[in-house]
A and B are shown apart, each in its own frame.
Chain A
Amino acid sequence: MQVFNDFGRYCRLLYQAIRSSTELKSYYKNFVSEMIKTGYDSLPIVILAGVFTGAVLTIQTSYQLVSPFIPNSTVGAIVTQSIIIELAAVISGLVLAGRVGARIATELGTMRVSEQIDAIESMGFNSVSFLVVPRVLAGFVMFPILYIAAATMGVSGGLLAGMITGQVPAADFMQGARTFFLPWDVIFGMTKSVVFGFVITSISCYKGYYASGGAEGVGKATTNATVLSCIFVLLSDLLLAIILL
């Protein structure tokens, strides 16, 4: 019962957000600052995650494919495709579920329990358009940007790791990567990142916006937001794979 109740309130919040998304004037400033916080400030962690994912993937794939019959270029193909289709979107999604999701839930939760949301409403603002819309929109816009960063850095990291360890020469890596490179994979990865951006920001906004019960309530909302974001990132990843492939 609680699940349906939650889902209903979540949908109502989204409906309110969509209805008030036209009030650009009231949330433009917040939108810009949210894009900074969600996108610009997340770049380092996403780049770091991308580089390490690519490097580890290259080293481990070349370790697994020890066979004279498998050319080195196969490693490049596997690493590049895995990163573009899956890992750039999902790893950055999980990292950002922690970083962005927790921040949003804490911000909104604190605003709720310290009556700042009431204050905004009592001044005559639409608190949803003021607080929720810019955060979700920033997710929509910035997650694909972060995906590009993660994907390019992931492939570069894989290339570098292969070169430095001497397991996969750069030319072989790139040859494999290019042979199996499909434009559709990029579109698919991008679509994933957009969906993850929406899932993470909207769930965190919901959890924060309806937080209650002081500091403990905010902590609970933050934990729930992060956990739920991760779960729904993985779920939507599976769903997208079924629908789009």
Chain B
Amino acid sequence: MNNEIKVVITIFIAIVVGIIGYRFMSEIPLFSQTYELHATFDRVDGLVTGSAVLMQGVKVGTVRRISFTDNDSLRVDMSFSFGRKLNEGSVAYIRTVQLVDKAIEIERSSSSAMLESGSGIKGVYDDGLLGALSELSERAAPSVEQSVESLSSVLSQVDSMLLEGGRDDIAATLSSLNQSVEAIRQVLAARAGEIDESILLIRNTLQNMEGITSGQEEKIEQILANLETSSNELNVVVKDAGELTRELSEIMKKVNEGEGSLGRLVNDPSLYNNLDSLSYNLNELIKNFNDNPRHFLKHMRLIDIF
């Protein structure tokens, strides 16, 4: 055989083998026309050239190329090797497979129209449960942050309020209260005997009452019925109280925000002065109680009437 022909045949066969090998490795169909589609995504994360394109979990193609488009989104070119065309309206999802790998998953639509090679389909970046969670927290994060910020500002206001003289007043009030409690304790200790006596009297009274009631069950029943009515009324009252509480809470909110007269009152140091004088008067009262308990106990006798 002629040398020239040998060389030409060698080179020709090598080039053909090279091209076939290349197409085979790149998963481009060896002899048929390639079927290529592209989709646009905002982000692709782990997707790379050569990543799998899946359909119903079966590999049907590979990612050929990832490139930036003019408006900064990403165009992903895919080539398919499964020998069929896709329906119009199919969607390409970027999903995580096997924990870390990213792949494109095609979801076919039911449209009967088929896509020609080279056309584009819709691309969706779908990062699954974990992604959804993180997205949610991402969205919630600003409002949480805002709340924390306002709370912190309220606290700082309270703090500054306390710092502006209020602290001393509260301290004084507390110490006065402390004194009053101490005084009450002393009184109680000193008058223990008398109190015992009173309790004894109460016990006698109760015994008398038992004697009285034993003969008057009907009356008591009636009283109970009355009581029931009263409690019904009380229920209404409680409801009202609930309403009141709500209103109160609203008011408190406003107070908190420094609105209205009460709000201003809170900020007014005179309140503490009044409280102070109140506790002083209480002190006086207890002193009087100590000096002349009978005067007060006389009033207590009123209980005996029951």
Contacts and interface: CB of A to CB of B under 8 A. Distances in A.
A105 interface: no
Given A149-B14, A152-B21, A178 B62 contact: yes
B3 A36 contact: yes
Interface string B1-20: 00110110011001101100
A179 B26 contact: no
Contacts of B15: 148
Nearest to B50: A179
Contact of B18 (A32, A141, A148): A148
Contact residues of A: prevailing secondary structure: helix
Contacts of A179: 50, 52
Given A32-B3, A36-B3, A40-B6, A181 B26 contact: yes
A145 interface: yes
Interface in A46-64: none
Given A148-B17, A148-B18, A151-B21, A39 B10 contact: yes
B126 interface: no
A141 B8 CA distance: 11
Contact of A181 (B6, B14, B25): B25
9 contacts: A32-B3, A32-B4, A32-B7, A35-B10, A39-B10, A145-B10, A148-B15, A181-B25, A183-B22
Nearest to A146: B14
B14 A145 contact: yes
A177 interface: yes
B17 to A, nearest CB: 6
B233 to A, nearest CB: 76
Which secondary structure dominates where chain B touches chain A? helix
Contacts of A178: 25-27, 50, 62
Given A148-B17, A149-B14, 7 more contacts: A35-B7, A39-B10, A145-B14, A149-B17, A152-B21, A178-B50, A181-B50
Contact of B7 (A36, A149, A177): A36
Nearest to A71: B98
B49 interface: yes
A81 to B, nearest CB: 11
A33 interface: yes
A35 B22 CA distance: 24
A48 B208 CA distance: 124
A36 B22 contact: no
Contacts of A183: 22, 26
Interface in B17-53: 17-18, 21-22, 25-27, 49-50, 52
A152 B4 contact: no
Contacts of A177: 25
A186 interface: yes
Contacts of B26: 178, 181, 183
Interface residues of A, number: 23
A151 B19 CA distance: 12
Contacts of A145: 10-11, 14
A177 B24 CA distance: 10
Nearest to A84: B25
Given A32-B3, A177-B25, A178-B62, A40 B10 contact: yes
A15 interface: no
A36 B3 CA distance: 7
A203 B14 CA distance: 26
A7 interface: no
A15 to B, nearest CB: 27
Interface string A198-219: 0000000000000000000000
A125 interface: no
Nearest to B101: A179
A91 B264 CA distance: 92
B7 A40 contact: yes
A233 B4 CA distance: 29
Contacts of A181: 25-26, 50
Given A36-B3, A36-B7, A40-B6, A182 B50 contact: yes
A39 B7 CA distance: 8
Contacts of B27: 178
Given A148-B18, A178-B25, A178-B26, A36 B50 contact: no
Interface string B158-185: 0000000000000000000000000000
Interface string A20-40: 000000000000110110011
Contacts of A186: 22
A152 B17 contact: yes
Nearest to A177: B25
B6 A36 contact: yes
B14 A148 contact: yes
Contacts of A155: 21
A182 B25 CA distance: 9
A171 B26 CA distance: 15
Contacts of B18: 148, 152
A13 interface: no
Interface in A121-153: 141, 145, 148-149, 151-152
